[in-house]
Structure 1
């Protein structure tokens, strides 16, 4: 019996790759859901016990929907050199192809990319087979974040590469056709862990927390909380020459792995929101990730949504905790990336005191209302991916797709929820219990190069 929590319960790895067709559906799948829900997460091969949850090899799960049918499910390891034991560090330095590729999967310019922030992306086919490492035709000079952002107006992909060694931060822009058109080193950055970031109409917003490079951390992920590392928000003008004009603003200590959104309000202030942990929350989560005895019961505890308002004219930041519910994996209608969103979604977890439970949460930022779809006993939902309805007119006119891990039934289902009220619309029964993962995307057929593959 393993003592590693990330190999047990909802996180117990799948031991093989399977394919299944003609999946059973309860309810009615909206016909506009024609595409793939793809999910990524850490899933080491049988017999492998990674020293940190983040070190587990990536496995992608896909569910193909078309014309009201659930046509297939399949899962595949991302076949990188690391899957067969190749080390990240070599005598010649880091091998950027030796990736877990297990954090996220996105589509850009018709290409599916499995991502891990310490490495190159890995391209996959529409059927989730591995094509190989992808470096944007040699334009990618180092690692790529697992959280790129697509500008919903221009179709540009903004992303960054961070490192614990200089240059600490590089910013990239790829056009809608996938060609890198701009890259720049961002001055003033430090070795602080930078996992996610945000866009606004006129700015790129970086987040440096109180977690930074730690050469004494031996889990294989060399980061730790450091009270001497200042937490900061960097606001950089978009466009060429913007990096030279970045401004860094100190904020209260904390660590925010995932950003909800950022936008410029009517006064030109930059508003940023993200689930954030304090020192104790980070300690409990980190100990869960490495399997230390003194750990939280969940990988997410004390993770509360925080709002920062950066007044560029005054050179000041105000901040507040806006909710007392432990949440992570925030999402929104991606059409509102960079502009003011009214609605946002997250997965809720029991807090450090064991209060609350698993569920999908909807926030109304205009009224302050909070709505929860409770997942049920021993049922953990995945990150809820928003898909707009056909002919949508409202921000929450659409669906949330989430894969539930059900320990009591040893099964999983894809739930399709009405994003306006969180009511279930359809349930797709999957052929296995899907391991709890991290991030995923809805990929409509129209987005893939060469059309859909069956």
Structure 2
């Protein structure tokens, strides 16, 4: 590796390197057969600094990569920057205390992209959502008709039963945590301040059929780091780790807190209620950012069991293989799931040396304990896989897994569709694409939402 390459931070090298061109490609080479029942858009968000430079993987500008499927065809691929204030003003301070507290449009909008109530939302956890149209052009930030006054999570949960979007926002200043509930028609109908131990970074949370479960964990805001312009979160050995259970329409007074061993969870797989207990499957890390802003221990799949009768939480490790970005089918969010999917090779070394990596998508059968995988090949790495059911599914896993796959040998990418039932290594279909940089979270947005 050259001296120049060594001077470039890891998160800006190789397939982390940003691309500035916004493309629309309508003539796409397809291998295999795209299922004709797929009518919608696969969209994925990620940090892609417009200037080509960023101080941390989490602070690049949001860029959406999308592919439109209809009638068995890949009609287009598009990549678009989310038009936040940082695109108009590239030199704007990323970590600006005043703007962070007063300007809720000052977002990078770079973490997730979801569809709800006829809108596509580009999300980042410190500010308002940004609305996109079906061609991925930015409509603008939304405050839900003035009812949203603070941050909105990058990880809302959409209830498959009610159609509600359940969310929260956390802040470095009080109120540190606010629970949010958006109706199926897109109206913010509940905003409830929740008492936590301090300014904790709550990246994600959990929902069940009847409850919300907050994760109050020891990654906390640090004013000194913020004043230096650094990523303002640090690990605290003195901050208790807890889970807070609240009815979905409840208030702060209804929250019941349960102590757990110190750890951090960026992403849960799913949660559900069974026999008076709450079961939560999570990608658990021992800690984060104890030794600096790039301190990410390898995560692995664990199961928490909250027992209200005893007031205790069991913690069982399901697997020791490093894995992240856990998902379940949207149809079982908050309900009992049998299957869960994760991205293997979640250790940083796989992305630092992709030519020697063996990328895979994992499937866990939580009923039998079996783990299977789609092996995408040496020197190839998939992103987070989204599950999309077939038109008339016969089982929970009767559907497709879709994601972008990076091929280090060709320095190019493809959109890949795999059969979630069989977990065959042979894709159902692939669509040839230019290089798509590694990103964060993606989702399938049906045409009924975006058209």
TM-score greater than 0.5 by the shorter chain: yes
3, 13, 23: which one aligns with 1:18: 23
139, 147, 170: which one aligns with 2:178: 170
Q: Map of 1:3-152 to 2, 5 A cutoff?
A: 3-46=8-51, 48-83=52-87, 84-85=89-90, 86-87=92-93, 89=96, 93-152=101-160
Would the aligned equivalents of 1:87 and 1:98 in 2 still touch at CA under 8 Å?
no
Superposition misfits of 4+ residues, deviation over 2 angstroms = 83-94, 187-190, 215-221, 281-284, 350-358, 424-431
Distance in 2 between residues matched to 1:388 and 1:308, nearest whole Å:
27
Which structure 2 segments of 5+ residues have no match?
351-355
Which structure 1 segments of 5+ residues have no match?
289-294
Q: Which residue of 2 aligns with 1:375?
A: 376
Q: 1:350 to 1:103 in 2, by over 3 A?
A: closer
Would the aligned equivalents of 1:413 and 1:427 in 2 still touch at CA under 8 Å?
no
Distance in 1 between residues matched to 2:158 and 2:444, nearest whole Å:
14
Q: TM-score, normalised by structure 2?
A: 0.92
Give the drift of 1:427.
3.3
Q: Tell me the number of residue pairs that the alignment of Structure 1 and Structure 2 aligns.
A: 434
Q: Map of 1:291-330 to 2, 5 A cutoff?
A: 301-330=297-326
Give the drift of 1:435.
0.5
Distance in 2 between residues matched to 1:264 and 1:208, nearest whole Å:
20
Q: Which residue of 1 aligns with 2:353?
A: none
Q: Which residue of 1 aligns with 2:261?
A: 252
Distance in 2 between residues matched to 1:400 and 1:366, nearest whole Å:
20
Q: Which residue of 2 aligns with 1:292?
A: none
Q: TM-score, normalised by structure 1?
A: 0.91
Cα distance per residue 1:260-300 (max 9 Å; x no partner): 111011x2101111111113x6557x654xxxxxx6xxxx6
2:327 matches 1:331:
yes
Would the aligned equivalents of 1:143 and 1:162 in 2 still touch at CA under 8 Å?
yes
Would the aligned equivalents of 1:51 and 1:219 in 2 still touch at CA under 8 Å?
no
Distance in 2 between residues matched to 1:236 and 1:255, nearest whole Å:
20
Q: Let me know the Cα RMSD of the aligned residues.
A: 1.9
Distance in 1 between residues matched to 2:411 and 2:347, nearest whole Å:
24
Q: Which residue of 1 aligns with 2:276?
A: 268
2:165 matches 1:161:
no
Q: Which residue of 2 aligns with 1:431?
A: 433
Q: Map of 1:398-437 to 2, 5 A cutoff?
A: 398-423=399-424, 424-437=426-439
Distance in 2 between residues matched to 1:106 and 1:219, nearest whole Å:
30
Q: Which residue of 2 aligns with 1:291?
A: none
Q: 1:32 to 1:259 in 2, by over 3 A?
A: same
